[in-house]
Amino acid sequence: MKSTSIQFLELLHDGFCATDLNGIVLYANPRALELIKLEDYTAITLNFFRDVVKDENLIEEIKSKIAQESSISDIECNLFNRFREYFPVILTANYIRDYDGTPEGYLFLFKEMSAFKEMQVRLVQAQKMESIGLLASGIAHEFNNILSGIMPNAELIKMTTKEKANLARADMIHKASFRAANIVKQLLSFARIHEMDETEALVLNEAVSETLGILDKLFGKEIHLENRIPVDLPAIEANATQLQQVIMNLAINARDALEGSGRIIFSAEVFKNISKDQTLKPGDYIVLKVMDNGHGMTREVMEKIFDPFFTTKEPGKGTGLGLSTVYGIVKSLNGDIRVESEPDKGTRFNVYLPVSHSRLAKKESPDEVTESTSRNVMIIDDDLVVREMAGDLLDFLGHTVVKAETGEEGIELFRTQPSRFDLIIIDLIMPKMNGVTTMERIRAIDEKIKIVITSGVGHTNKKDEMLKKGADAYLQKPYSLDAFRSMFSDLFPE
Ligand SMILES: Nc1ncnc2c1ncn2[C@@H]1O[C@H](COP(=O)(O)OP(=O)(O)OP(=O)(O)O)[C@@H](O)[C@H]1O
Ligand SMILES: [Mg+2]
């Protein structure tokens, strides 16, 4: 019968070895054998130093430390298995001594750390993404303000000028600023502060086959797109447009990695997350798996793929915003995205999307846009450029505009002629009196007057709050003619 201490060692979840002074293993517990990938240590001469530690410097360090202090504890290092593959451990070791204290061997205890390390890497990655997100949102916010000055002006010049050369120039400015606005939009979806589109219950299989239908024609015959998603999976909670963006970006990246021919397979399964993994809340998910047999990635590339502007493609071929957008969308849906890849072995993205608790909605046809008739509008904004811009746009749409620089000024204008106005547009953030107070004071004069609160990108998540506080609508800067048009048709249905 085995002694109780040996029984205890055999149950231990950590590796344990006893060796002589040369490192020859005299006893190894089952976990140690599992880690070293060895069935029987008695059949061969296993030397812990030579075969498992391997690193000469580390061997020296262990030996000399134990000689001085009799033990070492909690050393983070790599050990090697029989196939020379390393595994990260935390190692503790000390002398075995005989009855008069003379060292006669070593005891090694090692805790395998792969899972922990992996989680740590994910956590560090999540923290890195969080801080890049902050930076990206700051830049996007600034750019958005600048674009507020450029875009509508170019649009107005285009619509009013008759001179051909200027028309072409204005068109170029408009197109370039439109591209810039698109980059800003992608950055914002990465930084997760853009206006969150509403989510609904969606059937993943349908969403994927719709998108693949479009891509199939674009990708050509040599690229095989396959949808293996079971039709009977529970619905996911997402926004249809955003989900399409995720599927498109992953498919296009896979196509690029195939370099001409290969396969892209979409599959999915239910995943119940019970772990306390800090990057994914416990709950029910669908994992969407996107696999390709393309050129794959090195570990170095894999660590950076979600960073905005990281690309390995030639200049002009990729902006490096595809996966950052995907990351932002997936995170904003309370999901997660993970990647497995090796050079020349293909790539697999696993996208975790939460299962929906709402009912599947029926598809509706979009509302028709109607042209609105002339209205009297007051615009209250402390920023001269924005005020003028909004004025010009409203003017162009055929409305009459009165401008005020502060809340107080706007209130005064309204007090003297309350019946003159159909609508008041108020900037949310103003130095003296803010938009909400201004709105409340104006409503105290006439509770029925229509009020729109407007703000820059950093505050877009305020939409619901503003509607709750009584605004009739919320308008996001930078302004565009279309946004104004549809705002009028929503506020004044004809
Ligand atoms: N399926 C894949 N196989 C191999 N490498 C990939 C795959 N998907 C992404 N990558 C790598 O990740 C990088 C970043 O991808 P991302 O979609 O963010 O940008 P991009 O495709 O380079 O440019 P953009 O999407 O903005 O046009 C790519 O340049 C590529 O190196
Ligand atoms: Mg891409």
313 secondary structure, DSSP code: S
The response to whether residue 89 sits with its C-beta less than 6 Å from ligand 1 reads no
For 56-92, the pLDDT digits (tens) are 999 999 999 999 998 999 999 999 999 999 999 999 9
Domain 4-112 adopts which CATH fold?
Beta-Lactamase (3.30.450)
- Opening angle at CA 35, ends 29 and 40, nearest 5: 55
* Separation of CA 253 and ligand 2 centre (Å): 5
> For the domain 376-491, what is the CATH code?
3.40.50.2300
Strands 262-273 and 283-292 come out as antiparallel
386 token code pair: 């924005």
For 142-163, the pLDDT digits (tens) are 888 888 889 888 888 988 888 9
44 token code pair: 């061969």
Q: Which of 118-132, 370-384, 407-421 has the highest mean pLDDT?
A: 407-421
The response to whether residue 19 sits with its C-beta less than 6 Å from ligand 1 reads no
* Separation of CA 250 and ligand 2 centre (Å): 7
Q: What is the mean pLDDT of the chain?
A: 88
- CATH for 200-354, options being 3.30.2310.20, 3.30.565.10, 3.50.50.60, 3.40.50.300: 3.30.565.10
The response to whether residue 254 sits with its C-beta less than 6 Å from ligand 1 reads yes
The response to whether residue 137 sits with its C-beta less than 6 Å from ligand 1 reads no
What's the half-sphere exposure (Cβ side, CA atoms, 13 Å) at 167? Answer: 6
84: exposed, middle or buried (C-beta count within 10 Å: 0-12, 13-18, 19+)?
Answer: exposed
Amino acid residing at 355: V
Lowest mean pLDDT among 36-50, 124-138, 356-370: 356-370
* pLDDT computed for residue 359 by the predictor: 67
* pLDDT computed for residue 188 by the predictor: 79
Q: CA-CA distance, 338 to 43, in Å (whole number)?
A: 42
Model confidence at 364, pLDDT cuts 50, 70, 90, reads: very low
* Neighbour tally for 74: CB within 10 Å: 8
Tell me the best of 245, 252, 305 to mutate to test the pocket of ligand 1, counting ligand atoms within 8 Å of each CB and taking the most: 305
Domain residues of the chain, as ranges? 4-112, 117-191, 200-354, 376-491
Which residues make Cβ contacts (< 8 Å) with residue 373, sequence separation at least 6? 398, 492, 494
* pLDDT computed for residue 363 by the predictor: 47
SS3 state of residue 109: strand
* pLDDT computed for residue 134 by the predictor: 81
Q: CA-CA distance, 221 to 263, in Å (whole number)?
A: 11
* pLDDT computed for residue 361 by the predictor: 56
Ligand nearest to the CA of 306: 1
294 secondary structure, DSSP code: S
Residues with CB under 5 A from ligand 2 (ion): 253, 322
Ligand nearest to the CA of 318: 1
The DSSP line for 392-417 is HHHHHTT-EEEEESSHHHHHHHHHH-
For residues 280 and 108, the model is more confident at 108
Ligand nearest to the CA of 257: 1
In sequence order, the β-bridge partners of residue 97 are 103
* Separation of CA 292 and ligand 2 centre (Å): 14
Strands 423-427 and 376-380 come out as parallel
* pLDDT computed for residue 461 by the predictor: 65
The response to whether residue 313 sits with its C-beta less than 6 Å from ligand 1 reads yes
The response to whether residue 253 sits with its C-beta less than 6 Å from ligand 1 reads yes
Query: Among all chains, which residue has been given the structure tokens 């890195």?
Result: 128
For residues 471 and 182, the model is more confident at 471
The CA distances from residue 46 to 36, 93, 389, in Å, are 10, 17, 80
